[in-house]
Amino acid sequence: MKNRIEEIRNEKNLRQEELAKAMGVSRQTISSLENGRYNPSIMLAHKLAKFFEMTIEEIFIFEEDE
């Protein structure tokens, strides 16, 4: 699953550390999310969407298997 977290975070001039603190996770978790090495729980995805005032679908790109 791809996401736009880094893009959105940069648009809002937030550092990974700041976003991590707001989400209650480590900076490494944010880094792993941005690099596609980690898929968030539905709760974390919801918190990110609420924080950025977006929908989950606007942040995360779900790719269906062909």
List alpha helices for the chain, DSSP H: 5-11, 16-23, 27-34, 42-52, 56-59
pLDDT band at 59 (very low <50, low <70, confident <90, very high): very high
Rounded Cα distance, 23 and 51, in Å = 8
pLDDT of 55 higher than 50: yes
Fold of 2-55: 434 Repressor (Amino-terminal Domain) (1.10.260)
Average pLDDT over residues 24-35: 97
Query: pTM score, two decimals?
Result: 0.90
Average pLDDT over residues 39-66: 91
> Looking at this protein, which amino acid is placed at residue 15?
R
